[in-house]
A and B are shown apart, each in its own frame.
Chain A
Amino acid sequence: DAGVIQSPRHEVTEMGQEVTLRCKPISGHDYLFWYRQTMMRGLELLIYFNNNVPIDDSGMPEDRFSAKMPNASFSTLKIQPSEPRDSAVYFCASSPTGSYGYTFGSGTRLTVV
């Protein structure tokens, strides 16, 4: 298995632009998680899905953030409009059940200038 696949690896955008991050979880994993990592705040859970359904989005910082999972093999995290404080590494992770270890993707390093 190729693992969790995220794209793009790096994204540099101007403030105010829309950013879309993509994730393909491991086949058969029912849980998908979006995390954000910064030096100041560490790893923060933004949202997670179970069987493509959003279960908890309480970590989504603002209405500018939205996430979708239209099918079991694809999820997106969208930021519109982006702001410099959104600069971070965004990780997608999946798990076969909610109670076991997560497999993380390589992450998307987002820089908003």
Chain B
Amino acid sequence: GQQVMQIPQYQHVQEGEDFTTYCNSSTTLSNIQWYKQRPGGHPVFLIQLVKSGEVKKQKRLTFQFGEAKKDSSLHITATQTTDVGTYFCAARPLDSNYQLIWGAGTKLIIKP
């Protein structure tokens, strides 16, 4: 079946360092969504990217959608303790009937 690869699985950073997670699909996507899940919490919708090459920013978060609409990234500048959690991409293939294909998530851990 269709899969979305998300890397890395974990990323340990010092507070103030940057964080990036990547998602890659073998097939062209209609759109891709990003969610954040705090420890013990539920996924929270962050953003949806639809257009080829699209770049969107939310404060310190920058989201990109690849030109071929097969890959996406989330970059956090100058991480803070409030950024801790797992970040998931959720991709919708072109032939999807509204189903999302979820990445495995990248866990952001702030080193003490």
| A contact residues vs B (CB 8 Å cutoff) | 31, 42-43, 45, 48, 50, 55-56, 91, 93, 98-107
Please give me the 8 A-B residue pairs with the lowest Cβ-Cβ distance, nearest first. A98-B98, A101-B45, A104-B42, A43-B102, A104-B43, A107-B42, A42-B104, A106-B42
Size range of the chain B interface in the assembly: 20 to 34
A43-B88, A55-B97, A56-B97 known; A102 vs B45 contact (CB < 8 Å):
yes
Chain B: minimal CB distance from A109 (Å): 9
Chain B residue at smallest Cβ distance from A89: B42
Bound-complex Cα distance A106 to B88 (A): 17
A50: B residues at CB distance < 8 A: 98
* Partner pick for B45 among A48, A55, A103, CB 8 A cutoff: A103
Does B105 sit within 8 A of A, measured CB to CB? yes
A45-B99, A98-B98, A99-B31 known; A91 vs B92 contact (CB < 8 Å):
no
A103-B45, A105-B42 known; A31 vs B88 contact (CB < 8 Å):
no
Query: Are A104 and B104 in contact, with the CB atoms below 8 A?
Result: no
Chain A: minimal CB distance from B23 (Å): 13
Does B68 sit within 8 A of A, measured CB to CB? no
Against A, the Cβ 8 Å flags (1 = close, 0 = not) of B74-99 are: 00000000000000100010000111
A101: B residues at CB distance < 8 A: 33, 35, 45, 47-48
7 new A-B contacts at CB < 8 Å, known A101-B45, A101-B47 = A45-B99, A48-B99, A55-B97, A91-B43, A98-B97, A104-B44, A106-B41
